[in-house]
Amino acid sequence: PGLAPDDIARAETIRFPLPAGGQDGHAFFYPPASLSYRGPADEKPPLIVMAHGGPTGRAGTAFSYKIQWWTSRGFAVVDVNYGGSTGFGRAYRRRLDGQWGVVDVADCIAACRHLVATGRVDPARIAMRGSSAGGLTVLLALAQSDLFAAGASLYGVTDLRALAQETHKFESRYLDRLVGPYPAAEDLYLARSPLARADAIRAPVLFLHGLDDAVVPPGQARDMVAALAANAVPHAHYEFAGEGHGFRRAETIRRALELELDFYGRVFGFTVPDVAERVILRPADETP
């Protein structure tokens, strides 16, 4: 309701070459869409790379306000179905077996490079966002590649060892297939954890986390924030009372989206009008 057809970004299926070769990666690309506004004719749009959760879930093409929020504000979006995603055959799904934190990261970077190479987005204004398992992919991508000017981790995994020890019973052995048996493969869990790669991150990062999260406890974000703060990496960290793993309350969703939009504005150099709260980016902002 209230949206004209030209206000809605529609998914374009894209395939892109994978680093290992032999097969293509899969993603959905959404250009900016607005009936009332257009970006400068001489500029390519900024890009938001989305890494879905799961990690063995998938991105689909159903109408999503989460995507339209960004495309209606001038961003292009690429929603990546990295290796391990369902819907592309068993071989594609099994690419993530034992390779979580490797294949997903490489595929998201490859999708990003494809869009830059084909001239569809501004290579200087690329952000990456992900929730839960996608948050791990975001943080590892920031540590591995200088393509990204910013990242946002929503209740994201930062310490795989802690996840193996603390997560709920339903997913307690999920990581055995994605990483390796724990604690026998503890060294691998450490190597794949963003917390162990924090020294390689230089881009600003936004963390959003529910205080009642029993799947990825809020301490995971706090530890990562402390590691970035020790290296004077710009960051912002917000916690939400009464929220668990995934935000449910309308006021939380609204606040989280506005904070994230303002965060990208700070990084990319534009002012976001009419937001209820400005993001506090440390160490740049002195306000406690």
Residue 36: Cβ-neighbour burial (10 angstroms; 0-12, 13-18, 19+): exposed
Q: Which residue has the higher pLDDT, 162 or 20?
A: 162
Q: What percent of the chain has pLDDT over 70?
A: 97
Least confident of 53-57, 71-75, 153-157, 232-236: 53-57
Q: What is the pLDDT of residue 19?
A: 83
Q: What is the pLDDT of residue 206?
A: 98
Q: What is the dihedral of CA 186, 146, 29, 139, to 10 degrees?
A: 30
Q: What is the pLDDT of residue 139?
A: 98
Least confident of 19-28, 47-56, 224-233, 257-266: 19-28
Q: What is the pLDDT of residue 286?
A: 58
pTM for the model stands at 0.94
pLDDT score of 23 more than 90: no
> Alpha-carbon distance 10 to 20, whole Å?
30
SS3 state at 150: strand
Segment 35-61 shows an average pLDDT of 93
pLDDT tens per residue across span 101-142: 999 999 999 999 999 999 999 999 999 999 999 999 999 999
pLDDT score of 203 more than 60: yes
Q: What is the pLDDT of residue 169?
A: 54
Q: What is the pLDDT of residue 223?
A: 97
Please, what is the average pLDDT of the chain?
Answer: 93
Q: What is the dihedral of CA 95, 100, 103, 105, to 10 degrees?
A: 150
Query: Which domains occur in the chain, in start order?
Result: 5-268 (3.40.50.1820)
Structure confidence at residue 288 as a pLDDT band (50, 70, 90): very low
Q: What is the pLDDT of residue 54?
A: 87
Q: What is the pLDDT of residue 285?
A: 77
pLDDT tens per residue across span 134-177: 999 999 999 999 999 999 999 999 999 988 887 655 455 788 99
Q: Which two tokens stand for residue 143?
A: 């540590």
Taking each helix axis as running N to C, give the angle between helix 133-144 and helix 103-117, from 0 to 180 degrees, rounded to the nearest 10.
60
> What sign for the dihedral angle of Cα 225, 167, 164, 19?
negative
Q: What is the pLDDT of residue 167?
A: 61
Structure confidence at residue 66 as a pLDDT band (50, 70, 90): very high
Tokens 């989206």 identify what position? 257
pLDDT score of 195 more than 80: yes
User: Using an 8 Å Cβ cutoff, are 85 and 58 in contact?
Assistant: yes
Which amino acid type is present at position 18? L
